[in-house]
Amino acid sequence: MTVTHAPASPTRKIDDIRKAWKDANVTPLWETDAHGPGPGSPKAYLWKWQVLRPLLDGAIDVTSMENAERRVLALTNPDATGGRNTTTNLNGCLQVLMPGESARPHRHTPNALRFVLEGNGATTLVDGKHCPMAEGDLIITPAMSWHEHVHKGTAPIVWFDALDVPLHNYLGTAVFESGPMKDAPHHPDDAAFAVPNIVPEMADSPHSYSPVFRYPREASVAALRAAPAAKDGSRKIRYVNPMTGGAAIALLDCYMTELDAGAETLPYRSTSNGICVVAEGTGTSRVGGETFSWGPRDIFSMPHGNWVTHKADSKTARLFVVTDREVLRRLDLLTEEYGNERT
Ligand SMILES: [Fe+2]
């Protein structure tokens, strides 16, 4: 049997056809970009501390302790799509706590960390474990760990927050739970992990994140001093889970790079994204087509696909970097390249 199709009605207009597709929630791909947005490299952005710090004073003026845990300024890349994201998969924020203030206990599926920029005397409790906070310290709050902040110091304390909220928003996995704390796991004191190359054998070890929640500045500086220099002379350390040797937090992978005076890194680019916080020193970084001159506490994004170099000025510089490298690696999508020559 031969089947014949009747020709389209000459009176049927393309607008009617498109409306029918739209009403039925179908999309004609031949009328859209052939391959989607492609592997383009989003533009990087620099947030200067001298601009940010007064903005925090404004946040203090218009908020109270009642909303101290929400007194956060999100670093929103003007070139990013999708709300308040700093880069694909990563949000960077600034939070300030005043003396005598506290932020109530809560937990959530997004992973988070804090890198202290200014002040000391506060404590973050992670699953009830006390983590003192001082300038240059890294405190992690892995997914679904209870956390709260108490500030008994005499001056404001400011820290950089990083979270993998954009990834959770994309996956629909963001869950938040208010305190009081309940059903918190017990974690050994950090002294249990303080002996090099030996860790306690624990049947209930949380393998997806580090049971050490505080990485003090002094330890980072000592590790950098002992680290072997790379080909370009820089030294780099990774904040790890002592039980596995992997990233300290499942989906937030953190590093610190030290550059001697005048030293410059070889170009690097990756399918992963990073946010760089200047811990110490001054210098210049190139991220794709952008050139940033930075000083202490400045923050800049390093979106995927951009060639990146860092150069220190006349003193030693230290750069703290949080990345989504583990996300890309687990998905078998991590590609990294090192240039042989400076661009
Ligand atoms: Fe939180």
**Closest to 319 (Cα-Cα) out of 268, 286, 276, 288:** 276
What integer best gives the mean pLDDT of the chain?
Answer: 91
Q: Is the distance from CB of 158 to CB of 227 less than 8 angstroms?
A: no
Find the 104 Cα to ligand 1 centroid distance in Å: 9
Distance in angstroms (rounded) separating the CA atoms of residues 129 and 134: 16
Find the 233 Cα to ligand 1 centroid distance in Å: 37
Distance in angstroms (rounded) separating the CA atoms of residues 217 and 274: 20
Residue with tokens 């005048």: 262
Binning pLDDT at 50, 70 and 90, where does residue 218 land? very high
The torsion defined by the Cα of 267, 270, 276 and 282, in degrees rounded to 10, comes to: 0
Torsion-angle region of residue 197: left (phi > 0), alpha (psi -120 to 50) or beta? left
Name the DSSP letter for residue 87.
Answer: B
Find the 162 Cα to ligand 1 centroid distance in Å: 10
Find the 112 Cα to ligand 1 centroid distance in Å: 7
Find the 113 Cα to ligand 1 centroid distance in Å: 9
Measured at the CA of 177, the angle between CA 105 and CA 322, to 5 degrees, comes to 75
Q: Is the distance from CB of 115 to CB of 160 less than 8 angstroms?
A: yes
Find the 306 Cα to ligand 1 centroid distance in Å: 30
Find the 107 Cα to ligand 1 centroid distance in Å: 6
Find the 105 Cα to ligand 1 centroid distance in Å: 8
- Residue 34: pLDDT above 80? no
Q: What's the average model confidence in pLDDT over 146-157?
A: 95
Query: What's the length of the chain?
Result: 343
Q: Is the distance from CB of 286 to CB of 308 less than 8 angstroms?
A: yes
Beta-bridge mates of residue 171: none
Find the 146 Cα to ligand 1 centroid distance in Å: 8
Measured at the CA of 220, the angle between CA 55 and CA 315, to 5 degrees, comes to 70
pLDDT tens digits, 258-311: 999 999 999 999 999 999 999 999 999 999 999 999 999 999 999 999 999 999
Q: Between 2.60.120.10, 1.10.10.10, 3.40.50.2020, 3.40.50.300, what CATH number should domain 46-182+212-338 receive?
A: 2.60.120.10
Q: What's the average model confidence in pLDDT over 28-45?
A: 74
- Residue 8: pLDDT above 70? no
**Closest to 309 (Cα-Cα) out of 254, 269, 267:** 267
Find the 163 Cα to ligand 1 centroid distance in Å: 9
Distance in angstroms (rounded) separating the CA atoms of residues 148 and 104: 5
Distance in angstroms (rounded) separating the CA atoms of residues 221 and 214: 14
Find the 213 Cα to ligand 1 centroid distance in Å: 14
Find the 111 Cα to ligand 1 centroid distance in Å: 9
For 84, the enclosing helix (H) or strand (E) is none
The torsion defined by the Cα of 14, 17, 21 and 23, in degrees rounded to 10, comes to: 110
- State percent of the chain over pLDDT 90: 78
Q: What's the average model confidence in pLDDT over 79-108?
A: 87
The reported pLDDT for the residue numbered 343 is 44
The reported pLDDT for the residue numbered 70 is 81
Find the 238 Cα to ligand 1 centroid distance in Å: 23
Number of Cβ atoms within 10 Å of the Cβ of 13 = 10
Binning pLDDT at 50, 70 and 90, where does residue 4 land? low
In sequence order, what are the residues at sequence separation of 6 or more whose Cβ sits closer than 8 angstroms to the Cβ of residue 19? none
Find the 109 Cα to ligand 1 centroid distance in Å: 9
pTM across the whole model? 0.91
